[in-house]
Amino acid sequence: MTCARRSFKVASILFLEAIAMSAAAQQPARVTSAQEADAPCARCHQQIYDSYMKTVMANASGRIAENAVTATFRHRPSGVEYRISVENGEVWLNYDRPRGV
């Protein structure tokens, strides 16, 4: 195989790999609950799993829109106001900074 042919073949493979990686990067991640994600561990570690499922951390995982709480609050030291809202099934965090900050 000539050097030019080999270079073309390598470039073609790299190009196809870049396309595949780009397509994979555009796929949304599948959201799961901690219960679903950690269920395989429970088979051998039931006591640890049961204890973990009672924690705030375990119950903070999963789709947030299902349990989202809308709110507005201000961070006193910085004066930044934060707003959590739900629009069309998506949760948004917006903020406003005071002028000059």
Q: What is the pLDDT of residues 51-92, one digit of tens each?
A: 988 888 887 766 666 677 889 999 999 999 999 998 888 888
| 29, amino acid identity | A
Express each pLDDT in 35-51 by its tens digit: 778 888 899 999 999 99
**String of b and e for 16-26 (b: at least 16 CB within 10 Å)?**
eeeeeeeeeee
Q: Is 84 helix (H, G, I), strand (E, B) or coil?
A: strand
pTM of this structure: 0.40
Q: What digits encode the pLDDT tens for the residues 5-28? A: 677 776 777 766 766 666 555 656
- Residue 80 is inside which H or E element, if any? strand 80-87
Domain range annotation of the chain: 1-28, 31-62, 64-101
Q: Which two tokens stand for residue 1?
A: 């195989």
